[in-house]
Amino acid sequence: MSPVRRIPLVSATNRVLLVLFAGLVLLFGTVIGTPLFRLGTLRAMALQVPQLGLLSLAMMIALLSGGLDLSIIAVADFSALVSAFLLTNIPADPGGLGILLQVLCLLAGLLVAATIGAINGVIIAYLDVSPILTTLGTMTMIKGLSVGLTHGGVISGFPPLVLFLGNANLLGVPVPLVILLLVAWPVAVMLNRSPFGNLIAMIGSNIAAVRYSGVDTRWVLIRIYVLSGLLAGLAGIIMMARFNSANAAYGESFLLVTVLAAVLGGVDPSGGFGKVSGLLIALAILQLISTGFNLLGLSEFLTLTIWGVTLVSIAGLGVLRQRLPSRRRAISPGQTSSGPISPRAER
C-alpha cells in the first residue's frame, strides 16, 4: 500500500514568510522597543494595510492570468471621485432614504470601476493587445479624465456612513481591516476551489492550451479584469472614507508596492500560481518595515528603495531557481560541468 500523501497546512512559501515576519518583529522590537507594540501603532498599521491590500488583490488577479493591471490606482481614484461627487450632491436626509442614496452612490463608483475593467478585458481579449499596453493606456486616459474634471482639486465632506467605513472599529478591529478580510476570504476560495479560479491559473500557465481545449478564454479574461477593477474600486472607496476626501492623485506610490506584495507573497510573475494567504503575510511584512522605518525616523524614500531592491532580488532569485535545476539535469551523474567527479569531491 502506498503511503498517504499529507498536504501541509502551511505552504513552504508561507513558512518562509512567517519566519521573515517573526525575525523582523524581533529586530524592530529590539531596536525600537515599546513604541512598536503600542495600541496606537498597531491601529495605525491596521488602518494602512486595507487599501493597499485590496489593490494588491486586484493586481494579483491580473498577475495570476499572466497579465498585469497598471490601471488599478487610476481606477481606484476615479471610482472614488464618482462616488464622492454623487455623495456631495444628494439631499442630506438622515433617514432610511438618505442611507439608501449613499449606498447607491458607493455602488455607482464600483460600477464605474467594473466598467473600466471590462474595457480592459475586451481590448486584451478581442483586440489581442498586451495587458501592459492596454492598462497603461486606460491608466493615462482615466488619470487625465480625473484631473480634467476636478482640475486637480479635492472633493470632501461625506456623511457618517462613509466615514464609518474608513475609520470606525468593530469589537476593537478597524472596519477597513474587517472589509479586507471579508473580501480576501471569498477571493481565496474562488481562486483555490472554483472552476473560474482554475481557469485563471491555467490561462496564466498556458493560454494557448486552454484555448485549444475549447474554453472561451476571451470571456474569462474579461471577467478577470472586471474583478480586478471591482477590487480597485473598493480600495478607492476605502481610501475616500479613510481620508474623508477624494482626489485624482491618491495612492500613486502604491502601484510598485502591489506588484512587490504579490511577488513577495509567492505569486509567479509569469502567471499560474499564487495564494491569497501569502499575499496577506507579505503585506504585513511590508507594513512592518514601513512602520519600523517611520519610528526610527528614516526617510520614506529609503523604504521605497528597500521595496524596490526586494522586488528586483525576488525576481532575480526566481530566474536563478528556474535555471539551476535545468543546469543540474544537463550534467550527467558522473561528471561536473568541467569534467569527471574526483573521489575527493565525492567525499
Is the pLDDT score of 39 beyond 70?
A: yes
> Which pLDDT score is estimated for 1?
45
> Which pLDDT score is estimated for 3?
47
Distances (CA, A) of 6 to 2, 242, 276, 296: 12, 44, 21, 44
The CATH code belonging to domain 39-322 is: 1.10.3470
Mean pLDDT within 61-75:
94
3 vs 287, residue with greater confidence: 287
> Which pLDDT score is estimated for 168?
87
The gap from C-alpha 191 to its chain's centroid, in whole angstroms, comes to 14
> Which pLDDT score is estimated for 316?
64
The rounded distance, in Å, linking the Cα atoms of 91 and 253 is 35
Q: Residue 327 in contact with residue 279, Cβ under 8 Å?
A: no
Is the pLDDT score of 92 beyond 80?
A: no
Percent of the chain topping pLDDT 90: 48
Mean pLDDT within 119-133:
95
Is the pLDDT score of 58 beyond 50?
A: yes
Mean pLDDT within 125-143:
94
81 vs 89, residue with greater confidence: 81
pTM: 0.86
218 vs 336, residue with greater confidence: 218
> Look-up: residue for cell 528614516?
298
> Which pLDDT score is estimated for 336?
45
Is the pLDDT score of 16 beyond 70?
A: yes
Confidence grade of residue 325 (pLDDT, cut at 50, 70, 90): low
> Which pLDDT score is estimated for 337?
42
Most confidently modeled range among 59-63, 163-167, 213-217:
59-63
Enter the C-alpha cell of residue 70.
497598471
Q: Residue 279 in contact with residue 183, Cβ under 8 Å?
A: no
What would the pLDDT profile of 245-292 be if each residue is shown by its tens digit?
999 988 888 888 899 899 888 888 888 888 999 999 999 998 898 888
List the chain domain ranges: 39-322
Is the pLDDT score of 235 beyond 80?
A: yes
Q: Residue 222 in contact with residue 121, Cβ under 8 Å?
A: yes
Closest CA to 121 of 15, 205, 228: 228
What would the pLDDT profile of 302-320 be if each residue is shown by its tens digit?
777 777 777 677 666 655 6
